[in-house]
């Protein structure tokens, strides 16, 4: 909080007038970044999709477009979360929100009879959530020079081949 206050040009007490804890500050910062990066607009095609397969495709495209823009923030939080309870709480909130989205997608696939036979809603949600890994995105985008469009196309193909009953 001291460093934030110093950089903002206010007193530490001034920061605490707005944020009662570092967790609240980190959450507000992430919310601001999410708003600036257009999280709500990026997710709209997922929730507005006419069917579960279209929603899954939109989810893959959302991840490929949105997640890379937050990799630096994600890495910073991940680096300190084991030693910083505030960062750990924030990471847990993000994980919970992402998992809820994955579960909703798996439930929709299942409800429409499109979930591939070897998956349950629980295991499909787990795997979809597990595939939101910064390492995967970083390796492909940075290490293999994929474009976000190529990543989106291949995620769509992977998700459909893996989770969708033909």
Per-residue DSSP letter, 140: I
Q: Domain extents for the chain? A: 22-163
pLDDT digits (tens, 9 = 90+) for 57-104: 999 999 999 888 888 878 888 888 898 888 888 889 889 999 999 999
Which of 8-12, 26-30, 150-154 shows the lowest per-residue confidence on average (mean pLDDT)?
Answer: 8-12
Q: Check whether 131 has a pLDDT greater than 60.
A: yes
Instruction: Check if the beta carbon of residue 26 is closer than 8 Å to that of residue 16.
Output: no
How confident is residue 14, by pLDDT bands cut at 50, 70 and 90?
low
Q: Which residue has tokens 């939101």?
A: 132
Q: Report the top-level CATH class of 22-163.
A: mainly alpha
Look at residue 124 in the predicted model and tell me its pLDDT. Answer: 99
Rounded to an integer, the average pLDDT of 28-48 is 84
Report which secondary-structure segment, H or E, holds 27.
helix 22-36
């Amino acid at each position: 909080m001291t460093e934030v206050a110093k950089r903002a040009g206010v007193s530490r007490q001034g920061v605490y007038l707005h944020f009662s804890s570092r967790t609240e500050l980190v959450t507000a910062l992430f919310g601001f970044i999410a708003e600036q990066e257009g999280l709500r607009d990026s997710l709209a095609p997922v929730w507005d999709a006419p069917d579960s397969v279209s929603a899954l495709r939109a989810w893959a495209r959302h991840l490929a477009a949105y997640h890379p823009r937050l990799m630096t923030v994600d890495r910073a939080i991940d680096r300190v979360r084991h030693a910083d309870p505030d960062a750990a709480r924030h990471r847990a909130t993000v994980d919970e929100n992402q998992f809820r989205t994955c579960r909703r997608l798996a439930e929709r696939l299942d409800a429409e009879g499109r979930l591939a036979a070897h998956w349950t809603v629980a295991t499909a949600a787990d795997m979809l959530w597990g595939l939101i890994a910064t390492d995967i995105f970083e390796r492909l985008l940075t290490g293999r020079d994929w474009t976000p469009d190529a990543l989106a196309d291949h995620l769509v193909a992977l998700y459909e081949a893996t989770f969708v009953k033909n």
